[in-house]
Amino acid sequence: MQLTGNLFIGAHEVAASEGTLQALAPATNELIEPPFALGGSAEVERAATLADEAFDSYSHTSLAERAAFLERIADNLDAVRQPLAARAALETGLPQAQLEGEAAKAATQFRQFAEVVRRGRFLHLAIDPEQPERQPRPRMDHRLQKMAIGPVAIFGASNFPIAYSVAGGDTASALAAGAPVILKAHNAHPGASEIMARAIRQAVRDCGLHEGVFSMLRGGGNALGEALVEHPLVKAVAFTGSERGGMALYRRAQLRPEPIPVFCEMTSVNPTFVLPHAVEERGASIGDGFIERMLVNVGQACLKPAILVAVEGDGLDALRQAMIQRLRTSPARTMLTPGIHAAYGEGLDALLSAGAQRIAEGSPAEAANDGAAALLEVDGRRFLAEPVLAGEVFGPAALLVTVRDTEEMLAVARSLRGQLSATLQLENGDLPLARRLLPILERRTGRIVVNAFSHPQEVSFASIHGGPFPASTDSRFTSVGMTAIERFLRPVCYQGFPDELLPEALRAANPLGLPRSLDGQ
């Protein structure tokens, strides 16, 4: 597939105004053609203006029209699945087969959101009819629906170059809500980003929508991203990445004359608590499965199970040895970027300096950006004394925390910051302890898993990918699953309206046949 390297602002391809970059193939450490354009504040201004111009018409498209648009995007993504996966594999070092699956998942998300739009439940339609005879004061007719918050700026992620990138869940949920999208592509995979952007732009044209419904920008450094967050026509931001990067955007958004919501998915170690009966009965299989899931994506997954907590006693040595055996047989694999590779080494050094002991290593690295797996161990007392041990190390490393008893396990759980997920491995005899752990974990995570692992995660109506800070900046919302659409909606009440002036979904005859609340019923 021919790549131009241009920016996409509405229907226009725009050349560089702030220089260019070239993608790096991390497996060979070589640059890849072509050069890709970088933009700045002028391009942000053009994209934001177009998005604002598109908002009124796009946010008022019929549910059928919007659903058809989302499905057209899905069809276009399917049509480019193989070249998209091939380019993403070149730019990330991840296996092409895995990325073809990720591309299929991205298309599926757009189709899922199309169904969400058709059903119309996301509108949260509510009607409180007038009560003219009510005393001591009559009640006017009140009708409520949710609508899009406004143009949304979305920052593509590095670790999932398709499913969390240009055509990821943030874009799908924002477009489903009726919000035009300005996408800041991640510089680690610019070619894959262009292929996805073309698929979305083609759907905009095919469906006859305003060109400002979608734009894709790219910038060097932080200036373009900061300009996006600060632009007065941008009304919300979605970000997946580091705590440092996410909080910089969050603080900048709150200092605007008009503060806006910033939905950041940031950092998590996704702890696994192996309760005593589970350790005794299934220690080896739990340890093996934990390391197998930890190594997915070379440990570069936001849901990577990074910390395993187990009580000393029967079965612990079998668990430990299974972890060691699985890890020692794992090959060093290419990490996403040289910067991520360097940060991985620094993170390991920080854990070792804080008192963790390296108890196993994978095969040594053979190339510059290879990440060699590592298993570290520390006792519960040391873990509680050194907060750095609870920090995320982005890469193929895990930490085994051995605690003296169940009280120390509870203390470890209480010490943790907000998480995207937490896991309990348990048997029937562990239920009393599990009941004590649950309230602690409910306060610290958005998803609790029993007798499985934190990764992978289903994309469904009930799935949650979010949690208390620093897992995310707003634990009331999710960035994965069908309810992710809620981030980009706000309620509007129509009071005393004549029927013909109401939005179609709120009219008396319910012409769309949508579910509605009537006087709370």
Q: What is the pLDDT of residues 332-378, one digit of tens each?
A: 999 999 999 999 999 999 999 999 999 999 999 999 999 999 999 99
Q: What are the boundaries of each domain within the chain?
A: 7-16+35-122+136-266+473-490, 272-450
Closest CA to 453 of 289, 277, 275, 250: 289
pLDDT tens-digit series, residues 391-443 = 999 999 999 999 999 999 999 999 999 999 999 999 999 999 999 999 999 99
Mean pLDDT of 89-96: 94
pLDDT tens-digit series, residues 135-176 = 999 999 999 999 999 999 999 998 889 988 999 999 999 999
Closest CA to 269 of 451, 420, 456: 420
- Of all residues in the chain, what percent carry a pLDDT higher than 90? 96
> Cα separation of 451 and 302, whole Å?
19
Span between the terminal Cα atoms of the chain, in Å: 54
pLDDT tens-digit series, residues 299-330 = 999 999 999 999 999 899 999 999 999 999 99
What size, in residues, is the chain?
Answer: 521
> What CATH number belongs to 7-16+35-122+136-266+473-490?
3.40.605.10
> Cα separation of 512 and 52, whole Å?
27
Question: Would you state the structure tokens that stand for residue 491, as one six-digit string?
Answer: 């309620």
Q: Which one of 100, 211, 302, 392 is the catalytic residue?
A: 302
Would you call 91 a catalytic residue per the annotation?
A: no
**Contact by Cβ (8 Å): 267, 468:** no
Closest CA to 179 of 117, 108, 109, 106: 117
Q: What is the mean pLDDT of the chain?
A: 96
Assigned fold of 272-450: Aldehyde Dehydrogenase; Chain A, domain 2 (3.40.309)
> Cα separation of 497 and 516, whole Å?
17
**What local confidence, expressed as pLDDT, does residue 432 receive?**
97
Question: Would you state the structure tokens that stand for residue 514, as one six-digit string?
Answer: 């949508």
- Of all residues in the chain, what percent carry a pLDDT higher than 70? 100
Angle, to 10 degrees, between the axis of helix 81-92 and the axis of helix 96-119?
A: 120
> Cα separation of 225 and 183, whole Å?
10
- 3-class state of residue 61 by DSSP: coil
**Contact by Cβ (8 Å): 273, 305:** no
Closest CA to 323 of 266, 265, 281, 284: 284
Would you call 302 a catalytic residue per the annotation?
A: yes
φ/ψ of 40, rounded to 5, equals -145, -150
Torsion region of 46: left, alpha or beta (phi above 0 gives left; psi -120 to 50 gives alpha): alpha
Domains 7-16+35-122+136-266+473-490 and 272-450 share a fold: no
Q: Inform me whether the pLDDT recorded for 1 exceeds 80.
A: no
Report residue 276's pLDDT band, with 50, 70 and 90 as the boundaries: very high
Q: Which one of 43, 211, 265, 408 is the catalytic residue?
A: 265
Q: Inform me whether the pLDDT recorded for 95 exceeds 90.
A: yes
Query: Which helix (H) or strand (E) segment is 7 a member of?
Result: strand 7-9
**What local confidence, expressed as pLDDT, does residue 160 receive?**
87
**What local confidence, expressed as pLDDT, does residue 455 receive?**
84
- Return the minimum-mean-pLDDT range out of 40-44, 158-162, 501-505, 509-513: 158-162
pLDDT tens-digit series, residues 192-224 = 999 999 999 999 999 999 999 999 999 998 999
